[in-house]
């Protein structure tokens, strides 16, 4: 049985760790609430952008647009959103698993796999894989990404697809469904696809006058839609990261409480054993002196 001094040091160490995990849990909970509110507001904006693009297809042939052209897929580009920090449960590993499984399927079909990775954790992993070519790496953009932050990523995606360097672009991110449920998801970015079930797509815009031209409007709206999709994916991922870190820290705090209880019980048992042994020694010495 460990000595009482060793058990005391272990209890003190676990209590210090519990204070840290509890503080991180509270910080993540506060950040999660704000990030969730922002992500929910952005969803409506993304839906509105989809509806506008769908309605524009009633007055122009989008198949002639360079971002709508569908080609045989020989090279596929993945945009994976991870985090810079750890201690967030399976947040990063879920995206990495989704990417590696997709890369394996691409290899079976003879498709070359490339990746643009956001977040240091994902970059550290992808660099060790020979089957995935790392095209670009970006650090995390914090809790409040702006359009200027995402512009380099959007420009790189559009340029590579317009020049036929890649034939398909997929966005990998984590959907924040609730505070306890976050799901890694893959969404197609390019070629741009429309939601045919959108009721707004059936409304005609033939009587509307576009300035300077319908082509210019379509160019701007398409790029804006892609930007909104990436931006919303970032917001969903940020909210998911804070939620998963909050749950991880809560589990760590609960585990620390259990360990402290077990160590306290062991400490009391060891202390009782020492007291019993000392009483026995005193009693034995008194009997020997008689």
**Number of domains, the chain:** 1
Say if 134 falls within a structural domain.
yes
Tell me whether residue 3 is in a domain. no
Q: Is the pTM of this model over 0.85?
A: no
Q: For residue range 253-266, what is the model confidence (pLDDT) as tens digits?
A: 999 999 999 989 88
| The pLDDT of residue 56 is above 90 | no
pLDDT band at 273 (very low <50, low <70, confident <90, very high): confident
Contact between 234 and 46 (Cβ < 8 Å): no
Q: Is residue 166 part of a domain?
A: yes
Q: Average pLDDT, whole number, for the chain?
A: 83
Ranking 14-23, 28-37, 129-138, 187-196 by mean pLDDT, the lowest is 187-196
Using 50, 70 and 90 to split pLDDT, how confident is the model at 222? confident
Residue 188 counted as domain residue: yes
pLDDT of residue 173: 94
Task: Look at residue 99 and tell me if it is in a domain.
Answer: yes
Among 210, 60, 238, 213, which Cα is nearest to 143's? Answer: 238
The per-residue pLDDT for range 74-113, each reduced to its tens digit, is: 999 999 999 988 888 889 999 999 999 999 999 999 999 9
- 46 lies in a domain? yes
For 61-83, the pLDDT digits (tens) are: 666 778 777 888 999 999 999 99
Q: What's residue 60's pLDDT?
A: 62
Q: Compute the C-alpha angle 86/92/95, nearest 5°.
A: 175
Q: Find the domain containing 159 and state its range.
A: 26-246
Of the two residues 188 and 192, the one the predictor is more confident about is 188
Indicate which CATH number applies to the domain containing 227: 3.40.1380.10
**pLDDT tens digit string along 14-33?**
999 999 999 998 998 888 88
169 in any annotated domain = yes
Instruction: Identify whether the C-beta of residue 47 lies closer than 8 Å to the C-beta of residue 228.
Output: no
Q: Is residue 18 part of a domain?
A: no
Residue in 61, 55, 60 with CA at minimum distance from that of residue 203: 55
């Amino acid at each position: 049985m460990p000595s009482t001094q060793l058990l005391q040091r272990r209890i003190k160490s676990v209590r210090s760790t519990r204070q840290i995990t509890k503080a991180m849990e509270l910080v993540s909970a506060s950040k999660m609430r704000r990030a969730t509110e922002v992500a929910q507001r952005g969803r409506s904006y993304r839906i509105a952008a989809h509806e506008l693009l769908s309605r524009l297809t009633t007055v122009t042939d989008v198949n002639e647009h360079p971002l709508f052209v569908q080609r045989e897929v020989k090279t596929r580009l993945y945009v994976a959103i991870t985090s810079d920090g750890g201690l967030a449960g399976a947040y990063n590993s879920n995206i990495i698993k989704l990417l590696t499984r997709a890369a394996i399927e691409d290899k079976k079909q003879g498709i070359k796999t490339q990746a643009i990775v956001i977040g240091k954790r994902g970059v550290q992993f992808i660099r060790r894989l020979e089957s995935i070519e790392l095209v670009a790496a970006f650090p995390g953009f914090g809790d409040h990404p702006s359009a200027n932050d995402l512009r380099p990523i959007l420009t790189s995606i559009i340029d590579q697809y317009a020049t036929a360097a890649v034939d398909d672009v997929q966005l990998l991110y984590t959907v924040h469904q609730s505070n306890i449920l976050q799901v890694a998801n893959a969404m197609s970015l390019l070629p741009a696809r429309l939601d045919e079930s959108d009721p707004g797509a059936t409304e005609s815009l033939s009587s509307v006058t576009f300035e300077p031209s319908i082509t210019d409007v379509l160019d701007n709206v398409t790029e804006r839609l892609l930007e909104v999709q990436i931006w919303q994916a970032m917001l969903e991922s940020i909210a998911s990261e804070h939620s998963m870190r909050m749950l991880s820290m809560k589990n760590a705090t609960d585990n620390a409480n259990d360990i402290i209880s077990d160590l306290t019980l062991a400490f009391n048992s060891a202390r009782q054993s020492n007291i019993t042994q000392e009483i026995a020694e005193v009693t034995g010495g008194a009997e020997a002196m008689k």
